[in-house]
Structure 1
Amino acid sequence: MRLLHLADLHVGKRVCDFPMLEDQRHALSQVLDLLSGGTVDALLVAGDLYDKSQPSSEAVALVDWFLSGVAATGVPAVVIPGNHDSAERVAYAGSLLAREGVHMAPAFDGHIEPVVLEDEFGPVCIWPIPYLHPATIRHFLPDAKTDGYTDAFRSLVESLPLDEGARNVAVVHQFVTAAGCTVERSDSEVSVGGLDNVDASVFDPFDYVALGHIHRPQRVGRDSVRYAGSLLKYSLSEADYDKSMPLVTLGRKGDEPTIELLPVQPLHDLRRIRGPIDKLLSPAVVGAQDASDYLHVVLTDENVEVNAMARLRDAYQNVMSITYDNARTRAAGVRTDVVDAPAEASPLELFSRFYEEQNGMPLSEAQQKIVREELKGIEAM
């Protein structure tokens, strides 16, 4: 049985305030083409269908278009909610969708029922395990050991009526690690992990574990425990990593699954360019790659360029950010590879970082006072 594993679609996401809906439609069209081509027997979506628990109407419309397209191919699908999703929203009309072969995980009530598919080697039981906290598991399994994430999920897995003679697949959206070793995360995921990690050994009873939550594709402990990664590059730290979709082939029970990584072709790539502004605007450089890509620009000019963003966007319409790397920024210790500020940063901190990146020097105390007063005036603090 051939399983196409997706995760972290984040439909409706904006990157540096750029809407990604058309890029997401382009990527999801490739998924539908694969399903229509007869090379896939089932689709697994391991959480974060949406980017927000209350998505925009445009995001809902795109997910509706995608799931309708999946149903039209006749390929069964299993979809679970992630931490960005509303479990109740994902589960809405689940019974109706299931009749069309699209199985949306219900909101967790202490029981998980598998979606059972068949091939020439017998049944494949796909277990949709939604994003959960130990407290939620403890509520429904009060007598089980649920002191931490690993204990809670081990108790949950032990409560499942697994058929050991069948091939079992788990679809999971959690932070899973192997023997305490961390996984590779993007710069937008630095707050993920720590006390909330689940040890991969919890999922030893499963023949394949389709993970979501981390945006870089990677194995965790063994090849058959795997993060698919996001379909698109959603942060600067992912610029050097191509996106893919694991196509997992399950053979007989006990055989190791084979995994092929199918490339995803983005509508616009996300990449970094670097150099003096005049060189970057030269026809040779502009024409060397797709000028409509999403760009993070590092300028090496020693002096701050007036109207740098406007000049660059005349040649590259999708410039997302500009930073400087020159003698002043290096002396000030400014990093040029950080774009995403932590979510807890205050408006003053955000403005201070922006000013320092643009000018190569921090705000003076007098300037900070002015900014603080202005922010108070607009009730931003």
Structure 2
Amino acid sequence: MKFMHLSDLHLGKRVNEFSMIEDQQYILNQIAEIADREKPDGVLIAGDVYDKSVPPIEAVQLFDDFLVRLAEQNLPVFIISGNHDSAERVAFGNRLMTRSGIYLSPVYDGLVKPVTLEDGYGKIDVYLLPFLKPAHVRRFFPEEEIDSYTEAMRVAIDYLDLDLSRRNILVTHQFVTGAVRSDSEEISVGGADNVDASVFEAFDYVALGHLHRAQSVTRETIRYCGTPLKYSFSEADHEKSVTLVELGEKGQVSVETLPLVPIRDMHEIKGTYEEVTLKRFYEETDYQESYMHITLTDEEDIPDALGKLRAIYPNIMKLDYDNERTRTNGKLDGTDRAEQKSPIELFAELYEKQNNQPMSQVQQDFLEGIVEDIWEEER
């Protein structure tokens, strides 16, 4: 039996104030086409369906359209809530949706019953375990000692009543120790939200959500599929994909990935203003269509640099400078008495402290002219 593993759609997300709805619609259409071509027996969506607990209307409509397309293919879909979702909102209508083969994780209440499927090798139990904090589990098992995320997950799994003779799939949304994070993910101080992978030993496949880089942790079958889109520039070098997992007889599991191609990619480039605006720099790239982070290395700021660069790179998201001024944080020295210096000397010192270089002769002449004009008016 073959499953498509997705997670962290983050529908409704804005990246550097850019709405990603069009990009998300494009990539969900691509995923639906892959599902139609590959004919999986089910789709696992491991949390963070939405980017916010109260998602915008267009995000809800987009997910509704996606589920309808999957239902039209007679695909069972298994969905849990992540840390970005409202567990109550994701669970809404779950009993009605089940009739259409859409299985939504209910709000955790200590009792998690599997959805059972069957193929030529026997039965497969799919367990839906939404994002959990220790307090969520402690509430229902007060007699258990639960002081960490690992202990919370271990207790939750201990009470699943697993049949180890069957093939078991867990869909969950946690940070497993040893996995690699990205900048766009929420990070707990000190790694307090870590879950040790040993708690998943009983499962044939663990469909994880939460981390944005596709990766397996400790073994191939404990896997993050990653986001379908890049959501920060720390993900610029990621290769986005969907994960296909196929379960044969008990103990036989194969995993493969299929690439996803976005409508707009995400790139980081660096150079002087003159370099990055040369036609030969960008003409044979997809930079003009992509989301861009540009770092200028000019020592002096370019007036209206963002507006000028946007004429070439219309989807520029972020502009930074990397020069002497930004690399060194100058601090004003208050040992010299300000009243003993002229305004021009004071301004020249301020300029040098902020820019880590003195004013040019042209700048000094311009400043002196302004100061003389001001003094003339005061006279």
Q: TM-score, normalised by structure 2?
A: 0.84
Please show how residues 169-184 of structure 1 align to structure 2 within 5 Å: 169-177=169-177, 182-184=178-180
Q: Which residue of 2 is the match for residue 151 of structure 1?
A: 151
Please show how residues 96-107 of structure 1 align to structure 2 within 5 Å: 96-107=96-107
Q: Which residue of 2 is the match for residue 37 of structure 1?
A: 37
Indicate conservation of the 8 Å contact 1:108/1:130, yes or no. Answer: yes
Distance in 2, Cα, partners of 1:254 & 1:137: 30
Greater Cα shift, 282-291 or 313-322:
282-291
Residue number among 179, 182, 185 corresponding to 2:181 in the alignment: 185
Distance in 1, Cα, partners of 2:329 & 2:311: 30
- Deviation per CA, 1:133-177: give whole Å up to 9, x if none: 111111112222322211121111111111111100000101111
Q: Do structure 1's residue 205 and structure 2's residue 202 form an aligned pair?
A: yes
Q: Which residue of 2 is the match for residue 315 of structure 1?
A: 312
Code of the aligned partner of 2:256: E
Cα deviation, residue 86, structure 1: 0.6
Cα deviation, residue 190, structure 1: 6.3
Distance in 1, Cα, partners of 2:70 & 2:124: 20
Residue number among 229, 233, 237 corresponding to 1:232 in the alignment: 229
Indicate conservation of the 8 Å contact 2:9/2:228, yes or no. Answer: yes
Indicate conservation of the 8 Å contact 2:124/2:169, yes or no. Answer: yes
Q: TM-score, normalised by structure 1?
A: 0.84
Greater Cα shift, 323-332 or 70-79:
323-332
Residue number among 249, 261, 264 corresponding to 1:268 in the alignment: 264
Could you list the structure 1 runs, at least 4 aligned residues long, displaced by more than 6 angstroms after superposition.
none
Code of the aligned partner of 1:189: E
- Deviation per CA, 1:76-107: give whole Å up to 9, x if none: 11000000001111111112211111111111
Please show how residues 343-354 of structure 1 align to structure 2 within 5 Å: none
Code of the aligned partner of 1:283: K
Distance in 2, Cα, partners of 1:38 & 1:310: 44
Distance in 2, Cα, partners of 1:18 & 1:360: 31
Code of the aligned partner of 2:264: H
Indicate conservation of the 8 Å contact 2:185/2:210, yes or no. Answer: no
Distance in 2, Cα, partners of 1:212 & 1:360: 45
Distance in 2, Cα, partners of 1:34 & 1:118: 23
Q: Do structure 1's residue 62 and structure 2's residue 58 form an aligned pair?
A: no
RMSD over aligned CA atoms reads 1.5
Indicate conservation of the 8 Å contact 1:274/1:300, yes or no. Answer: yes
Distance in 1, Cα, partners of 2:219 & 2:203: 12
Inter-CA distance 3–360: structure 2 relative to 1 (3 Å threshold): farther
Give SS of 1:189's match: coil
Distance in 1, Cα, partners of 2:298 & 2:92: 54
Please show how residues 270-349 of structure 1 align to structure 2 within 5 Å: 270-290=266-286, 291-332=288-329
Code of the aligned partner of 1:247: L
Indicate conservation of the 8 Å contact 1:47/1:80, yes or no. Answer: yes
Greater Cα shift, 151-160 or 283-292:
283-292
Code of the aligned partner of 1:199: D
Indicate conservation of the 8 Å contact 1:245/1:262, yes or no. Answer: yes
Distance in 2, Cα, partners of 1:326 & 1:148: 44
Distance in 2, Cα, partners of 1:332 & 1:246: 46
Q: Which residue of 2 is the match for residue 345 of structure 1?
A: none
Distance in 2, Cα, partners of 1:225 & 1:280: 42
Distance in 2, Cα, partners of 1:38 & 1:236: 31
Cα deviation, residue 38, structure 1: 4.2
Q: Do structure 1's residue 222 and structure 2's residue 238 form an aligned pair?
A: no
Cα deviation, residue 360, structure 1: 5.8
Distance in 2, Cα, partners of 1:234 & 1:161: 38
Give SS of 1:145's match: coil
Distance in 1, Cα, partners of 2:10 & 2:309: 28
Give SS of 1:187's match: coil
Indicate conservation of the 8 Å contact 1:332/1:360, yes or no. Answer: no
Distance in 2, Cα, partners of 1:299 & 1:196: 37
Give SS of 1:96's match: helix
Cα deviation, residue 268, structure 1: 0.4
Distance in 2, Cα, partners of 1:56 & 1:206: 35
Cα deviation, residue 9, structure 1: 0.4
Inter-CA distance 12–157: structure 2 relative to 1 (3 Å threshold): same
Residues paired across the two proteins, number = 331
Structure 2: gaps (5+ residues): 331-353, 357-379
Please identify the structure whose Cα radius of gyration is greater.
2
Structure 1: gaps (5+ residues): 334-358, 362-381
